[in-house]
Amino acid sequence: MMSIVKIPDAGGDNITFLEVDGHLYPNAPVDYPVEVAVKGMRDLPIREDDVFVCAYPKCGTHWVWEMVRLLLSGDTETVINKERFMLELTGNDVLEKFPSPRILNTHCLVEQLPRGVFEKKCKIIYILRNPKDMAVSFFHHHKKLTKCYEYHGKWENYFPFLLDGKVDYGSFFTYMKEWAAIGTTHPDLPTLTLVYEDLKEDPLSGIRKLAKFLNAEKSEEFYLQVKELTSFNKMKESKGKFFEEPDGSAIMYRKGEVGDWKNYFTVAQNEIFDRRYKEHMADCEINFRYTLQ
């Protein structure tokens, strides 16, 4: 069953989501019925050359997706590609029309991926971002996409709401633990983990890793072109235009910085976050960089 739910933050401001089978999704203004897309996801016919780009929201999914597209196509003429739909927001009949190799992105949990991914051992690119910057970026995402979320709350009330995992795609603690365990739960799946902060600091190194993983190695000149075309400003200029503010500014691309969380987290919030992180992630060792220095 699908239903529209309104969940209040700590200050009583509601955020609107779609709930399908106990999971929350964005109430996105997409052409396809989200319930049908979500329920059909597990049964999507998978091709051996499908590539999956997976990350929790606001961790660089579309940034890396574009790098992958450029590397696999060998084409640096344009960055804009309208067929960048999320797996969970696009129906199987639409996805089946995409030419190979398909680059399919999703924010869903490992076990929500199509069954064929595990049978055909598709390549998966997983992106990690430090959760403090992710939290701030997600706050602005929920505030700015008013047609989806109808949210007008404040950071201090959003913060505990996010920590409790009441947002679309659920708790980021659960998400990170599931994906961190993929080497154990699905050891046969070829998986490359990229770290957002590393990509920001040295995008060329990340692009080379991607090229090698995808068996799509190119010249250093090509990598430099990919770096330029996928720079934050270029992405904001092109892809940002799919979602705009009334004044024409991009919604989906705000700052893309490392360390912006320091402008939002109070000392008390930082202590609360660190304590909750240790409680939830005690058995999962991930060392994040919260600044680039």
Can you give the pLDDT at residue 242?
46
DSSP-assigned states of every residue in 218-246: --HHHHHHHHHHTSHHHHHHHGGGGSB-T
Structural domain count of the chain: 1
Q: Judge whether 134 lies within some domain.
A: yes
Q: Please list the active-site residues.
A: 107
199 located within any domain? yes
Looking at residue 1, its pLDDT comes to: 65
Inter-residue contact 110 to 224 (CB < 8 Å): no
Residue 35: pLDDT band with limits 50, 70, 90: confident
For 230: left if phi > 0, alpha if psi spans -120 to 50, otherwise beta; the answer is alpha
The structure tokens listed for 157 are 């009330």
pTM over 0.85: yes
Task: Check residues 277 and 86 and name the one with the higher pLDDT.
Answer: 277
Asked if residue 262 has pLDDT above 50, the reply is yes
User: Is residue 28 domain-resident?
Assistant: yes
Note whether residue 290 is domain-resident: no
Asked if residue 175 belongs to a domain, the reply is yes
Cα–chain center distance at 238: 18
Residue 211, Cβ density class (10 Å: 0-12 exposed, 13-18 middle, ≥19 buried):
buried
Mean pLDDT of the 193-209 span: 96
pLDDT band at 31 (very low <50, low <70, confident <90, very high): confident
Q: Is residue 155 part of a domain?
A: yes
| Least confidently predicted of 26-35, 52-61, 186-195 | 26-35
Spatial neighbors of 246 by CB under 8 A, at least 6 apart, are: none
**Mind listing the pLDDT tens digit for each residue in 64-96?**
999 999 999 998 876 555 555 689 999 999 999
Beta pairing, strands 14-20 & 2-8: antiparallel
* DSSP element (H, E) containing 23: strand 23-26
Structural domain includes residue 253 = yes
Q: Is residue 287 included in any domain, yes or no?
A: no
Q: For 137-160, what is the mean pLDDT?
A: 95
pLDDT of res. 85: 66
Q: Edge-to-edge strand order for the sheet containing 23-26?
A: 2-8, 14-20, 23-26
Taking alpha carbons only, the member of 79, 89, 111 closest to residue 28 is 89
Q: What CATH number should be reported for the domain holding residue 275? A: 3.40.50.300
Quote the domain boundaries for residue 269.
2-280
Instruction: Determine how β-strand 123-128 pairs with β-strand 191-195.
Output: parallel
Tell me how far apart the 2 most distant CA atoms of the chain are, in Å: 54
